[in-house]
Amino acid sequence: MSHRLKKIIPLSLLDQLTFRWQQVKYAFSNVSFRIAHPQTALPDDYTLYESYLLNYRKYLEDGELTAQEIWESVQQHVPNSPTILDWGCGPSRISRHLQKFTSSANIHASDPNIDTIVWNQKHIPGIHFKVQEIYPPLPFEDVYFDLIIGFSVLTHIRSNDQPKWIEELNRIVKPNGIIWITTHGNHFIKKLSKQQQQQIQSEGIYHTPFSKKGHRMMSTYHLPEKLKMTLAEKFEILEYWDGELHPKKAGKQDLWILRKKKV
């Protein structure tokens, strides 16, 4: 439905309508959750909506399940006390749970939204949060991380900025380090217009324009075959899961588990 609405409603208006609809839709369950969990730290409604879904229980429960899924899929490839980056962390949906599965890890998280990072720093202990710029470089040293997580980050970066970010991830991950990322693949591509699908087939990538960079209304779609060739230049592809065929893996997004090649 949202793909059809994007064709007839300005994205800025659709954003506000979707936000207000989610406020109404989840009002009762969210109030009930706050009453039952008064000590649980929750971000403001728009931040939660913009980064995931305006559902308090799902924000916490799905975040924990995702953190567990990520850790179980990479733990065999990383050291016992890894240095981890949750790139584009948003309001810590995933990173706030990582310590439950790897208590000895050195966890960092970054996001371009200053207010979100300030909220994280205030409410989520044990993680090193940093503000990042909307363009590379990230505020980290070369070859620093054993594991980089990018859940639904490349999905909201403009087409022409993608190579810069792939190069940046390659810069900060250690040799043999792991990158766990998701993209909008076949499941999402089939919902686009014929013209948009033709562009993806021709260029391998397409993004919907939106004034605010990184916003949920600006979605990017990758042709898996093309992206696989791009990633293979710098990384060994340990696992690839097509979200159309494996919808439970990463919320129907394509999942890529990469290992940086030794030079």
What secondary structure letter does DSSP report for 49?
A: H
Average pLDDT for residues 29-56, to the nearest whole number?
96
Average pLDDT for residues 161-171, to the nearest whole number?
97
Percent of the chain exceeding pLDDT 70 equals 95
Indicate the pTM of the whole model: 0.93
- All domains of the chain in start order, with CATH: 60-260 (3.40.50.150)
Give residue 3's pLDDT.
Answer: 52
Give residue 1's pLDDT.
Answer: 42
DSSP string, 191-253: TS-HHHHHHHHHHSEEE---SSTT-TTS-EEE-HHHHHHHHTTTEEEEEEE-TTT-TTTTTTS
85-129 confidence digits (pLDDT tens): 999 999 999 999 999 999 899 999 999 999 999 999 999 999 999
Average pLDDT for residues 14-34, to the nearest whole number?
96
φ, ψ of residue 179 to 5 degrees: the values are -120, 125
Residues 6+ apart with CB under 8 A from 79: 146
195-204 confidence digits (pLDDT tens): 999 999 999 9
C-alpha span between 166 and 5 (Å, rounded): 31
Give residue 150's pLDDT.
Answer: 98
C-alpha span between 261 and 21 (Å, rounded): 46
